[in-house]
Amino acid sequence: MSAAPVGEGFGASVDAVRAGSPDALAALYGEYGRALYRLAYRLTGTREDAEDVVHDVFVGLPEALGRYEERGRFASWLKRVTARVALMRLRARNRRREVALDSAAGETEQPAPSERDGLEAAVNTLPDHLRAVLVLKEIEGYAHAEIAELLGISEGASRVRLTRALKRLRNELESGR
């Protein structure tokens, strides 16, 4: 069974994916899987969480496509869906951290800053809520309005978080950590 091409044209293949065709889903993964994984990784900061995010996105995609209105770029829509899932995972992870004892902090999957170099290490020292805005704005190129909608915050809060993230990032880089 050959999969229909799934890309910007999407078009006829959407029905196959919606119908739950494994081949169509595999083709979709082949086209967008890596990009979505990178986005998830940048938002969550860990390989495991990023894989879980991409896994959940593709498992739920056939049903979610039933609500896809085919407006705008399909890749953008898919990224937004993935960002939502990643942010939900971040929130769930933060809730788990709140419940955990302080000693559990040592068990975090965040790699130690010393293990990474330069900018990447500095980005990974940012708290989740600041890193999410930084990634979405400066790497993914979302507008503040879109970030606000994704994170459930105001546009002003998004701008403030970005400013704070950049300030912390600069401090981290200047401190030479």
Q: Binding of other proteins at residue 127 (CB under 8 A)?
A: no
- Is residue 37 part of the contact set for other proteins (CB under 8 A)? yes
Q: At what angle do helices 47-64 and 22-44 cross, to 10 degrees?
A: 140
- How many residues line the site for other proteins (CB under 8 A)? 48
Q: Which is nearer to other proteins, 104 or 145 (CB)?
A: 145
Residues in the chain: 177
The helix or strand, by DSSP H or E, that contains position 169, with its residue range, turns out to be: helix 155-175
Q: How far is CA 54 from CA 107, 109, 160, 165, in A?
A: 23, 18, 29, 26
CB 130 within 8 A of CB 163: no
Answer yes or no whether residue 55 interacts with other proteins by CB under 8 A: yes
The only residue of 3, 5, 31, 68 in contact with other proteins, by rule CB under 8 A: 68
138 near other proteins, rule: CB under 8 A: yes
The dihedral over CA atoms of 44, 46, 48, 53, expressed in degrees to the nearest 10, equals 20
By CB under 8 A, is residue 95 in contact with other proteins?
A: no
- Under the binding rule (CB under 8 A), the answer on residue 42 touching other proteins is yes
Q: Is 2 in the site for other proteins (CB under 8 A)?
A: no
Among 123, 37, 46, smallest CA distance to 83 is for: 37
Minimum gap (Å) between residue 106 Cβ and other proteins: 23
Among 4, 16, 25, 126, binds other proteins (CB under 8 A): 25
Kindly report the number of other CB atoms within 10 A of residue 40's CB atom: 28
Q: How many CB atoms lie under 10 A from the CB of residue 32?
A: 22
Positions in the binding site for other proteins (CB under 8 A): 20, 22, 25-26, 29-30, 33-34, 37-38, 41-42, 47, 50-51, 54-64, 67-69, 71-72, 76-77, 80-81, 84-85, 88, 119-120, 123, 134, 138-139, 143, 145-146, 149
